[in-house]
Structure 1
Amino acid sequence: MTTPLLSLTWTDHVTGRQGFLVVDRLVRGVSSGGLRMRPGCTLDEVAGLARGMSMKEALHYDPEARYVPLGGAKGGIDCDPRDPEAYGLLVRYLQAMRPYIESFWTTGEDLGLSQDVVDRAAVEAGLVSSVQAVYPLLDDEAGARRRLADAFAVEVDGIGLDELVGGCGVAESVLTALDRAGVPYWRTRVAVQGLGTMGGATARFLTRAGLTVVAVADIKGTIANPAGLDIEALLAARDAYGTVDRAVLRPGDREAPGEDWLAAEAEVLVPAAVSYAIDATNQERITARWIAEAANMPVRPEAEDLLAARGVTVLPDVVVNSATNAWWWWTLFGDIGADDVEAFAHIRRSMRALTDRTLARAEADGTTPRAAAHAIAADRLPVIAERFGLHR
């Protein structure tokens, strides 16, 4: 495990709460990685996420594309985003991190923070943009910024394109795994933890592909229906934090404790909420065949070992949830336009190819998909460094 280029802890002078920044590596002097806000966030957690971002960037490297692969980084703030002090804390964090964001850290929404909140706080902190460090790498900065702004203005069925691209990528990873196993979509049941941006979009795309979502979990508990949930109704009844208004539940829907999504009779589990959701103890409840990591680091390593030993395949976060980050850069660098049809088509092609390559490598090497993804990234990082230079 390599030592990151930069690792720092910041303490807010107003609340005493802490924030963190880890830059794992730079490519052409720039790194990429979102900013999360959650109670209990730690420096070690942020460091793990930053390493994952380096791999996500490497996995999407295409020498023929305009998209320049970046290094990996991550930010984190130890605070409940619902706390009345959270927004002011976010602004002060961004003010403290301003030299890094201006110079070499591009960031955006992650767990607990939406992009519009990050953008608003960035302006208050005196920043031009949360991704301004990448601007010097663009051939046409004005055109690229306009293209990205136009993409963020696109809505599909009432939901912003930026809120859908990640879930589209997760869904394609799941569908690729099913295709390789010869499992028909209509016979596949899904349980989702978290109905926020990533979980909600994943549930929508999987449902529209013909799968049946039988359970979803939010902060209030689990909603289940073995015949299938009305995902569109649940999505329409969410608040800003992904919590569903129970008034929309149908007679066949039942409420259960929060962790019951783990034990749902389903072929696919999608943890799309918090890190470390599946540990060595609660993994025993899982009967699913696949776990698709829509969240970052939801399965602890010791749990993954136990799951693998009994035939449960974990589709790793560095592959599964990488489409959001890639979509930003595909759009900004001009590989795709500000169009939902073009975006979804590009995501589907790229995520299917990446997932298929990862699963094929795992089979060939006799390893887990995570080990295979790490091996693919390890093969590509030196190639990227040789082409673009590596500043560490």
Structure 2
Amino acid sequence: MPHTPLLTLTWTDHVTGHRGHLVVDRLVRGVSSGGLRMRAGCTLDEVAGLARGMSMKEALHYRPGARYIPLGGAKGGIDCDPRSPEANGVLVRYLQAMRPYVESFWTTGEDLGLTQDVVDKAMTEAGLVSSIQAVYPLLDDETAARQRLADAFALRVDGIGLDELVGGCGVAESALAALDRAGIPYTGTRVAVQGLGTMGGATARFLDRAGLKVVAVADIRGTVTNPDGLDVEALLAARDAYGAVDRAALRPADRQLPGDAWLSVDADLLVPAAVSYAIDAHNQTRITARWIVEAANMPVLPEAERLLAERGTTVLPDVVVNSGTNAWWWWTLFGDIDADADEAFAYTRRALRDLVDETLERAAADGVTPRSAAHALAEERLAEIARRYGHHR
């Protein structure tokens, strides 16, 4: 029987005609969690798939005895270029229209095309208290919890907000866990990253610092490569607000190639960290990497994943590897961790490594892909959550 979300709606902006969507896949204890993205071409089907993925990401982090009890999954999406002069007005009007849902049962935050600062500012303009106010009634001590999260968001590591780093820490640790299981040393392992925004940039930084060699990065302006390794810190420092790198920061040996060249770069790990549906049945033929680590949501289409598996390329699925940011919010808010960067990184690394190990062990035992294994684990935990807290579709 096809899965049916609890709520699906589409909104049309009366000023510009841009459309936005909200899909609530399910509620747990009356609340759902899932970010808000803005990109030209965003569709209802895309948002529905992302919402379903959020239900699984939440469930995969279910640990009996922890303060954080996973929420349901949801997602918002707006079909508008975030660089457009119209974008902020569209965003504010979308949030005004979604106010009853944000106040009641949809907690949200940054996603593709939107930073948390932009979301927070638009929330205020729309007359909302917070992007996560729907979860406040579930907190034991709302005042302390909100202060703890605010303190965590105020933390900076090497000049970068902790909230911008923790997701990439989880993606990087997922990749490192896969390398460890395969007995592959970090030093000399080559990485190509598509997208150098919040998630891709942080992932590149953590992998670079672990000793891997980042040999290619792609942004909206094209792909930059260097087989001897790029200067990741210099590239990150030269990014604009949308993750595009100022080419003046490149070194003489760095080469500029077309935007899709990251697919065929000689690398061991590919990290798609930008748009959904980046790897399809056609362009997957160019990939020679052993692993694809899904820092973005839904970057590998199903037929492409099947063909890649036949050729020996393993996809580490988004529902596992990019779940760290969402989980960190809730670990902090509910009090499983304090507003401390070292504790946040350690907790994230341990949680993601455990999930990757569980997923790969299940995949090997069942003879299935890691995605199928992760989905099976998620379904088992969703069933347990439903038994304990009620079933809300």
Give me the TM-score of the superposition, normalised by structure 2: 0.99
Aligned to 2:286: 285
In structure 1, C-alpha distance between the alignment counterparts of 2:382 and 2:158, rounded to whole Å: 38
Asked if residue 67 in structure 1 is aligned to residue 71 in structure 2, the reply is: no
Asked if residue 389 in structure 1 is aligned to residue 393 in structure 2, the reply is: no
In structure 2, C-alpha distance between the alignment counterparts of 1:303 and 1:96, rounded to whole Å: 37
Determine if contact 1:28/1:390 at 8 Å carries over to the other structure.
Answer: no
- Structure 1 range deviating more: 377-386 or 69-78: 377-386
In structure 1, C-alpha distance between the alignment counterparts of 2:251 and 2:260, rounded to whole Å: 21
Aligned to 2:323: 322
Aligned to 2:159: 158
Aligned to 2:40: 39
What RMSD in Å do the two structures reach over aligned CA positions?
0.5
Aligned to 1:112: 113
After TM superposition, which residue ranges in structure 1, 4 or more long, deviate above 3 angstroms? none
In structure 1, C-alpha distance between the alignment counterparts of 2:34 and 2:158, rounded to whole Å: 28
Asked if residue 307 in structure 1 is aligned to residue 299 in structure 2, the reply is: no
In structure 1, C-alpha distance between the alignment counterparts of 2:323 and 2:113, rounded to whole Å: 18
In structure 1, C-alpha distance between the alignment counterparts of 2:47 and 2:192, rounded to whole Å: 27
In structure 2, C-alpha distance between the alignment counterparts of 1:75 and 1:389, rounded to whole Å: 24
**In structure 2, what residue type is equivalent to 1:64?**
G
Aligned to 2:142: 141
In structure 1, C-alpha distance between the alignment counterparts of 2:118 and 2:150, rounded to whole Å: 15
In structure 2, C-alpha distance between the alignment counterparts of 1:187 and 1:339, rounded to whole Å: 32
For 1:1-392, what aligned pairs fall within 5 Å after superposition?
A: 1-392=2-393
How many residue pairs end up in the alignment? Answer: 392
**In structure 1, what residue type is equivalent to 2:327?**
A
Deviations 1:89-134 (A, max 9, x none): 0000000000000000000000000000000000111100000000
Determine if contact 1:53/1:72 at 8 Å carries over to the other structure.
Answer: yes
Q: Please report how far the alpha carbon of residue 285 of structure 1 lies from its aligned counterpart in structure 2 after TM superposition.
A: 0.4
In structure 2, C-alpha distance between the alignment counterparts of 1:46 and 1:296, rounded to whole Å: 10
**In structure 1, what residue type is equivalent to 2:264?**
A
Report the 3-state secondary structure (helix = DSSP H, G, I; strand = E; otherwise coil) of the residue aligned with 1:360.
helix
Q: Please report how far the alpha carbon of residue 391 of structure 1 lies from its aligned counterpart in structure 2 after TM superposition.
A: 2.5
In structure 2, C-alpha distance between the alignment counterparts of 1:385 and 1:21, rounded to whole Å: 23
In structure 2, C-alpha distance between the alignment counterparts of 1:50 and 1:268, rounded to whole Å: 27
In structure 2, runs of 5+ residues without a counterpart are: none
**In structure 2, what residue type is equivalent to 1:332?**
L
**In structure 2, what residue type is equivalent to 1:58?**
A
In structure 2, C-alpha distance between the alignment counterparts of 1:295 and 1:373, rounded to whole Å: 16
In structure 1, C-alpha distance between the alignment counterparts of 2:135 and 2:379, rounded to whole Å: 24
In structure 2, C-alpha distance between the alignment counterparts of 1:290 and 1:348, rounded to whole Å: 19
**In structure 2, what residue type is equivalent to 1:186?**
T
Identity %: 80
In structure 2, C-alpha distance between the alignment counterparts of 1:244 and 1:158, rounded to whole Å: 18
